[in-house]
Structure 1
Amino acid sequence: MVIGVPKEIKNNENRVALTPAGVAELRKHGHTVYVQVNAGVGSGFEDGEYIAAGAQMLPTIEDVYGIAEMIMKVKEPIAQEYNLIKENQLLFTYFHFASSEELTHAMIERKAICLAYETVEKTDRSLPLLVPMSEVAGRMAIQEGAKYLEKPQKGRGILLGGVPGVKPAKVLVLGGGIVGTQAARMAAGLGAHVTLMDISLPRLRYLADVMPANVDTMMSNDYNIREEVQQADLIVGAVLIPGAKAPHLVTRDMLKLMRPGTVLVDVAVDQGGCIETCRPTTHEDPTYVIDDVVHYCVANMPGAVPYTSTVALTNATLPYALQLANKGWQQACRDNAELRLGLNVVGGKIVYKGVADAFGLPLTTVDDVMTEEAVAN
């Protein structure tokens, strides 16, 4: 298969979809890999490393899209990429369709094969291609939250871990999944007092057993959230519903309950956000203030630590990319139910329920589109 790796063009996105080690592995299986010039520089990988691994370098993003059968990316295509995508071209990347109707309609129009990292799912309901970036984002949520609690950043002017004789900050984490767990661990490690909320009692029991002593668990509901936001210095939104829009757990009216300088970090912002007043921001302009509450809502948080993120992502995606390249997407998805769940849009039709439900669009079964593809071929 011919695989293309374009340079990411989303604002301040420094990650790349494939490391030189990943290129070498694909080449070992007989595949051709084209990488756009300077695609890996932001993550610390020079063109020479890709060439040494067996990649061929192309000067422009148009060249990469024009030649590749499978495009490997990190973030969803943005508007200037839409017209570069060819019919039946396989795109393997994060899409988060449910948060963008424009992107959804664009991919339907292009009749691409859209296989989303975030909905590849194991039998235990875990999301193997979302986990590494969730781990990074969960830890970064606390790192960034601590920074924006500083007074020059319009925060409350409180040190997360406190000092002897001064109480530490109070951190509220909404969601006990990968992001929430990592955020709670990081905050606790820095000495904060952490409250971790989830709707699953078995999950809360598990977290109560494994978390440090300065982490309390609490059932997530509207009453408890309203009570806790009044005392929290830093609130982290870490709720994910695979492939669907995140629910608003912190509503607009709750901001009036918070103390001036409280910091909100919404890690779910690229899936619509679980804090109603959050909208996507960039690393270039990461925050804004509403009702004296600081909002940090960067949609590609792991892009700020691109070396760590790129290596972690490639470690997770490469085995799946090899299956797609070795077998073709149809056979790979027939053989592997995990990959099959990654299919969101195929040949102009939505095949993932969460995306169809988000915009009230028709849903087609994967079996039906695969049958149509087989007939067409």
Structure 2
Amino acid sequence: MIVGCPREIKNHEYRVGLTPESARELVAHGHEVLIETQAGAGIDASDAEYSDAGATIVGTAAEVFARAEMVVKVKEPQPDERKMLREGQILYTYLHLAPDPDQTRDLIASGATCIAYETVTGPGGGLPLLKPMSQVAGRMSVQAGASALEKAHGGRGVLLGGVPGVAPGKVAVIGGGVVGFNAAQMAVGLGADVTILDRSPEVLEKLGHYFEARAKTRFSNNANLAECVADADLVIGAVLVPGAAAPKLVTRAMLATMKQGAVMVDVAIDQGGCFETSHATTHDDPIYTVDGIVHYCVANMPGGVARTSTYALNNVTLPHALRIADLGWKEALARDPHLANGLNVWNHQVTHKAVARDLGLDYTAAETALAA
């Protein structure tokens, strides 16, 4: 199979779909790998390293899309990239379609077979291709929030860890999954006063055992959520409904109860955000203020630490890429129902139930695609 990897063009997106090591693995399996020139520059991977791995360097993204049977990326294809997709071509990347009707419409029109990292499941449950980026984003959310809390950035002027004689900042983490757990780890490590909210008793029990007295846990009902948000200096939104738009848990009315200059970091922004006042921002212009509350809603946070993120991502995406290239997408998905859960668009149809439901589109089961 001809596998292509273009340079990412989303604002300040420095990750790359294939590392030189991943390219070498694909070549060793007998596949041809096309890499757009400078695609790896953001992780300090030179064209020469890709060439040494057996890949072919091409001059433009247009050539990658024109020649590749499977395109491997990191972020969702941007409008110019979507125009280059073609009937039957495989697109393997993050998509986050539920809050993005324009992208969904373009992918349906393209006729491409689109496999989304974020909805591939694992044998033990969970979302293994999303997990490493959730770990990165969770940890970065506290760094970003701590910076935004500085007075020069519009924040309250609170140091999360405090100092002797001065109380630490209060952090509320909404959601105790991978993002929330990693955010809480970082906040606890800084010495903050941390509360984690979740609706699962099992998750709360695990968090309680792990953090013991270093972090508090609360059941996430409306009253507890409102109380914790009002009391917090930093609120981390870490809620995920696989494949679906994130629920709006923090309303605009709740902002009036918060401390002026408090910070909200919405890690769920890829799925539309879990704060009513959230809208996606970029690394160029990451924060804005609503009713005196600072919002940080960068949609590709892990792109800021591109080298760590790229290698962590390739660790989990490459095995599936190899199977798709070795077997063809249909056989690879037929053999692995967890990978089949990643199929979001096929033959001009939406094949993920949550995406179809949230966007009001017709749904075609992945099994239909595999039987066709």
Instruction: Please indicate the TM-score interval, normalised by the length of the shorter structure.
Output: over 0.9
Q: Residue 195 of structure 1: CA displacement?
A: 0.2
Please state how far the C-alpha of 1:214 moved relative to its aligned partner. 2.3
Worse overlay, 326-335 or 42-51 = 42-51
Contact kept? 2:353, 2:365, Cα under 8 Å: no
1:214-270 CA distances to partner (integer Å, 9 max, x unpaired)?
A: 200000011111111111000000000110000011011101010111000000001
CA distance in 2, matches of 1:21, 1:369: 32
CA distance in 1, matches of 2:366, 2:129: 20
Q: What amino acid does structure 1 have at the position aligned with 2:310?
A: T
Question: Offset at 1:337?
Answer: 1.0
Percent identical among aligned pairs is 51
CA distance in 1, matches of 2:283, 2:50: 27
Shift, 1:366, TM fit: 1.5
Letter in 2 for 1:264: M
Aligned residues: 372
Partner of 1:150: 150
Partner Cα separation in structure 1 for residue 337 and residue 30 of structure 2: 25
For the residues of structure 1 that align with 2:282 and 2:317, how far apart are their CA atoms? 25
Which residue of 2 is the match for residue 349 of structure 1?
349
Unpaired stretches in structure 1, ≥5 consecutive residues? 373-377
1:212, distance to aligned residue in structure 2 (A):
5.0
Q: Note the alpha carbon deviations across 1:36-80, whole angstroms, 9 max, x for none.
A: 000000111111111111110000010000000000000001111
Contact 2:99 2:245 in 1 (8 A): yes
Shift of 1:368: 1.7
Partner residue of 1:52? 52
Alignment match, 1:28: 28
Question: Amino acid of the residue matched to residue 21 of structure 1?
Answer: E
Q: Show the 5 A alignment for 1:1-377.
A: 1-372=1-372
- Aligned residues: CA RMSD: 0.7
Contact 1:185 1:212 in 2 (8 A): no
Report the Cα distance in structure 1 between the residues aligned to 2:368 and 2:315, rounded to whole angstroms: 32
Unpaired runs of 5+ in structure 2?
A: none
Residue 367 of structure 1: how far off its partner (Å): 2.0
Letter in 1 for 2:247: P
1:195-227: CA deviation from partner (whole Å, max 9, x where unpaired): 000000111011100015220000001111111
For the Cα contact (< 8 Å) 2:12–2:283, is it kept in 1? yes
Q: Secondary structure at the match of 1:230?
A: helix
Query: Which residue identity lines up with residue 362 of structure 1 in the other structure?
Result: D
SS in 2 for 1:99: coil
TM norm structure 1 = 0.98
Taking the aligned partners of 1:229 and 1:72, their CA distance within structure 2 comes to 39
CA distance in 1, matches of 2:230, 2:27: 55
So what's the TM-score if we normalise by structure 2?
Answer: 0.99
**Shift of the alpha carbon at 1:124?**
2.9
